[in-house]
Amino acid sequence: MTREDFSKHIHDLLDGCSEKAINVWIGFAKDCVDSGQYAYFANHPQPKDKAIESWLDYQYAELYFVKKEFGSDIAKKIFGMADRPEHPHCLYPFEMNAAAKYFRKNYGVEKIVDISINQNMDSDNKPRTMKDVQRDITRKRNHEAR
């Protein structure tokens, strides 16, 4: 998704999130691509803009499912880590599910950032995609239509 679409969809998903946090997450996606890290662990680079858009898709999809599985407050806490005044922090998408579990156990932001930086916070979940988000939305609509 484009930067503009990411901003719009994040605002829809996480009411009240800041533009600063959105821009930090977009910057994180760019930094990942600039350092040769590609979304979904792709081995072949895409054109830079497409590679950044793939990261934004990956970030959004994981946040969508964190919100669905752990609630809006925890999803906002994860996204809001980018709003920290002195040291904004973004999680890799594969860290978000583990971070949500830590938040559920009442770990603070600083502790979760420390774990993200200094330990292993990988999740056992397979990476979620925008196709997964779309399937979930379609399932929800079909269920509500019954």
User: What is the tens place of the pLDDT at every residue in 60-80?
Assistant: 999 999 999 999 999 999 999
Count of alpha carbons within 13 angstroms of residue 61, beta-carbon side: 23
What is the distance between the alpha carbons of residues 127 and 47, in angstroms, rounded to a whole number?
21
What is the distance between the alpha carbons of residues 139 and 136, in angstroms, rounded to a whole number?
5
What's the length of the chain? 146
Q: pTM of the entire structure?
A: 0.92
The domain spans of the chain are 3-145
CB burial of 53-69 (b: ≥16 within 10 Å; e: otherwise) equals bbbbbbbbbbbbbbbee
**pLDDT digit string (tens) for 27-60?**
999 999 999 888 877 776 688 999 999 999 999 9
Two tokens at 18?
């800041």
